[in-house]
Chain A
């Protein structure tokens, strides 16, 4: 009888001890997961910064730089042309400078991370599409389904950078005429689809090769915010979608 009681108490104490260890382990495990998540978030932010600087450099070189060079050329030739042509040259220069200002404003809007949190995801995407549309080479469209709601600003920024990357890739590589973004606000989930009617590519090959860094980066960013990333591509075009399950709006 004595031994039975002894063993019962010892076993019960061990069970409690194991339970305590389990709870402590759970707390450590969750804390570690949060730490990994923060590290990944920081890494992604660094990647985004890097990409942002690259975009600024490209944009200044290819766009603003060219326009301002043309404006300078115009002004340089003012002294050498007939008086009646001067006004036309000045008007043309004014237009070029205005274009450069607009381009810089668009660039600033598109790159400012905090601004995205301020104006909201849909507004930021609409601006981005407007910039592409203004080039005159693409038709763009933004469709929104469901009741709009705001979400965590960091998640919105990551989502916006994915859209930016997808649109940038489509503009650069797809030879598409039409770009479309579909945002689906649902009570249970949020989804975002970027489609183009370009000549497509082989996503599986690209995801496993060295050259598909942009695609991999999009997939990683989607995973970082707990999203499912999907790519469908054929000769008729490409659709990239991100779905966030268990989506919690900030202001329902």
Chain B
């Protein structure tokens, strides 16, 4: 097993240990987020043995991406306090995107187009969150809010946008470059984990 997989497993375990210590609190406050993280962890844990056995595990990632996207969309409708109509329209739009993405997905390969679309929507939602935070008159306690969770998602999706967007093309034309960029994605996910750990611990410290 390559080194990054050990780190990956280790960091995800740390996150879940922190969550399990206060599971009821997280269940009540951000259940959608918890399901998203659960599916994310499950995919990581199932795909690792497959990778070690040399079996293509991309179908796992590709089939879970629309589900994760819908969960994040739901999470943001709550976080951004969307009104009923706006929430419905946005969720219909997200479901439409997911359905459409199946037509452009090759389940045994990387799929740049759906990735770009999903990443862009999440990035826009994160920017919207920060914009509202700046516009809002009163200050908020960052550790008690969704701030660090949104910051983690924002950095994760913004940084991987360029790489995910070009990965399909690079795998076909220049596999070496694609491999090098893969490490960048790995480090990016570690930054994401660290921010989530920070968010969880900061929320606990209160």
Taking Cβ atoms with an 8 Å cutoff, the residues of A that contact B are 1-3, 5-6, 9-10, 12-13, 16-17, 19-21, 23-24, 26-28, 30-32, 34-35, 37-38
Contacts and interface: CB of A to CB of B under 8 A. Distances in A.
Interface of B: 127, 130, 133-134, 137-140, 142, 147, 151, 154-155, 158-163, 166, 170, 174, 176-177, 180-181, 184
A17 B155 CA distance: 6
A36 B92 CA distance: 41
A21 B155 contact: yes
A31 B142 contact: yes
Given A2-B177, A10-B184, A30-B134, 12 more contacts: A2-B174, A3-B177, A9-B166, A9-B181, A13-B161, A16-B161, A16-B162, A20-B155, A20-B158, A20-B159, A27-B130, A34-B137
B181 A17 contact: no
Contact of B181 (A6, A21, A23): A6
Contacts of A5: 166, 170, 174, 177
B130 A26 contact: yes
Nearest to A4: B177
Contacts of B133: 27, 30-31
Contacts of A23: 127, 130, 154
Nearest to A14: B159
Contacts of B159: 13, 16-17, 20
Most buried by B among A13, A28, A37: A13
A21 B176 CA distance: 29
Given A16-B159, A16-B162, A31 B130 contact: no
13 contacts: A5-B174, A6-B177, A13-B160, A13-B162, A16-B159, A17-B155, A20-B155, A21-B155, A26-B134, A27-B134, A28-B142, A30-B134, A34-B139
Which 9 A-B pairs have CB atoms at the shortest separation, nearest pair first?
A: A34-B139, A35-B139, A20-B158, A12-B162, A27-B130, A6-B177, A30-B134, A13-B162, A16-B158
A17 B134 CA distance: 20
Contacts of B170: 5
Contact of A38 (B134, B138, B180): B138
A221 B177 CA distance: 60
B169 to A, nearest CB: 9
A24 B184 CA distance: 21
Nearest to A23: B130
A9 B183 CA distance: 13
Contact of A13 (B137, B142, B177, B184): B184
Contacts of B184: 10, 13
Given A21-B155, A26-B130, A31 B162 contact: no
A9 B163 contact: yes
Contacts of B160: 13
A12 B181 CA distance: 12
Contacts of B180: 6
A2 B133 CA distance: 41
A10 B159 CA distance: 9
B138 A34 contact: yes
Contacts of A37: 139
Contacts of A6: 177, 180-181
A76 B163 CA distance: 96
A9 B155 contact: no
Contacts of A27: 130, 133-134, 147
Contacts of B134: 26-27, 30
Nearest to A30: B134
Given A9-B166, A23-B127, A31 B177 contact: no
Contacts of A24: 130, 151, 154-155
A20 B153 CA distance: 10
